[in-house]
Structure 1
Amino acid sequence: MADNADPARAADPASTSTAASGDPRTASGDPLTRLLADETRVRAFAAVALGADTPAKVREMAGVSVKEAVTALRRLEENGLITDDATGLSVAYDRFRQQARTRRETAPPPPSYGSGDERTEAVLRTFVRDGQLLRLPAQWERKLIVLKHIAERTFEPGVEYPERAVNQKLRAWCDDTPVDHVTLRRYLVDLLFLKRQYGVYRALPQAS
């Protein structure tokens, strides 16, 4: 899709930095996001995804001018989002699949909570993050797993804690969550993770 010089292209760092590497995510600032921040390019990409295989069809389907369609398509092709070959324009699905595989392969391992049980780890990864309770599970068995984790990470067995200290420790788990520390404390007492007597709390040893 040859076209004469486009002033917007020279002003757009995404078009130069990514054309050399061929990967829209290698330059700083995520050029792919910048590329698709332009409404005309999004319209053109959507038109190709919906089957428009020529610039004329893209122009008609996207509701843009000829120049806008050609410029947008060139940017999309340079950045590897679409291809233009003998069969016409098409989305570069293979490229997206390759990027997805690369991300999976290079993704950091999931956090470990030291339980030694994969099911327990999966539950904790879903409901606990960076020492924060995201929410309590609705399913009772999962709720027990999360509450046991909180009790073991927060209180030492046999140590006595005044209610103020218990509240302070549990508030740290509840920041920006729909669960308040009072509800959490009540669960821990009712399920015998904590024993309360005369306003003093003591963590009870739990079976492994």
Structure 2
Amino acid sequence: MTTPESVVRALAEPTRLRAFAAVVLGAGTLADVAAASGLKVKDAGTALRKLREAGLVEGEPARPADLKPLAATLTEAMPADGLAPFIRGDKLVSLPVAHERRRKILEHVASHAFTARTYYEEQEINERLQAWCDGGELDHVTIRRYLVDFGLLERGGGLYQAQPLPM
């Protein structure tokens, strides 16, 4: 199955990227791909095999695979309002450096992970945030600290309270 991760993995290798570019630009035979990409025939053949395995190239002569279904699933999983680079579905991928964008992302996580004016024990906060952090660059402790720093969670007496978001 072609996933965003498999596409990135396949195209991260320069030889495969050159071969894929050649196919996209119209090279179909192994000789054409080698000539258009500047690769040796053996290397072009290996690259085409890997691109086929990744679901990026299909057929003989080679042609780019239809990636519209993959694009559709990406569009569905990406939230609106500029959150897409940082949130995929219900996963926090990374945080922006800019203060206002970071706040917006954290507000999104808080609004989906917690109910305003509700008290939570630290273990439950951690579990809910771990679910958001699985597979991303960030850990739940860092996110919890940011939520407190931004006033989205208040801490006191061993409990956390989710705060209402500004309108």
Mapped partners of 2:103, 2:72: distance in 1: 28
Name the counterpart of 1:164: 123
Instruction: Note closer, same or farther for the CA distance 1:190–1:104 as it changes in structure 2 (3 Å cut).
Output: same
Which sits farther off after the overlay, 146-155 or 175-184?
175-184
Q: Amino acid of the residue matched to residue 72 of structure 2?
A: P
The question of whether the paired residues in 2 share the 8 Å contact of 1:174 and 1:181 is answered with yes
Task: Identify which of 54, 60, 66 aligns with 1:79.
Answer: 60
Equivalent position SS for 1:143:
helix
The verdict on how the C-alpha distance between 1:153 and 1:63 changes in structure 2, with shifts beyond 3 A counting, is closer
Deviation at 1:192, TM superposition (A): 0.6
**d(CA) in 1 for partners of 2:37, 2:125:** 58
Instruction: Say if 2:92 is the partner of 1:111.
Output: no
Q: CA deviation at 1:195?
A: 0.9
Q: Match of 1:20? A: none
> 1:144: Cα distance to partner?
1.2
8 A Cα contact 1:155 1:203, kept in partner: yes
Compare relative contact order (CA 8 Å, sep 6+) and give the higher one, 1 or 2: 2
Offset of residue 164 of structure 1? 1.2
Distance 2:100 2:60 in 1: 48
Once residues 106 and 125 of structure 2 are traced to their aligned partners in structure 1, the CA distance between those partners, rounded to angstroms, is 14
In the alignment, structure 1 residue 153 sits paired with structure 2 residue 112:
yes
Residue 202 of structure 1 is matched in structure 2 by 161
Structure 2 gaps of 5+ residues are 1-19, 24-28, 43-58
1:148-201 deviations in whole A, cap 9, x for unaligned?
A: 000000110111111111111111111122211111001001101011111111
Indicate how the Cα distance of structure 1 residues 62 and 193 shifts in structure 2: closer, same or farther if over 3 A, else same: closer
Give the structure 1 partner of residue 89 of structure 2. 130
**Count of residue pairs brought into register by the alignment:** 124
Deviation at 1:128, TM superposition (A): 1.0
SS, match of residue 161 in structure 1:
strand
TM superposition score normalised by structure 1: 0.49
Letter in 2 for 1:187: Y
TM-score by structure 2 length?
0.60
Which secondary structure state, in structure 2, belongs to the residue aligned with residue 144 of structure 1?
helix
What is the rounded CA distance, in whole Å, between the counterparts of 1:136 and 1:188 in structure 2? 12
Percentage of pairs with the same residue: 34
Residue 60 of structure 2 aligns with an amino acid whose one-letter code is N
Match of 1:45? 32
Gaps spanning 5+ residues in structure 1: where? 1-32, 52-60, 65-77, 82-94, 115-120
What is the root-mean-square deviation of aligned Cα atoms in Å?
Answer: 3.4
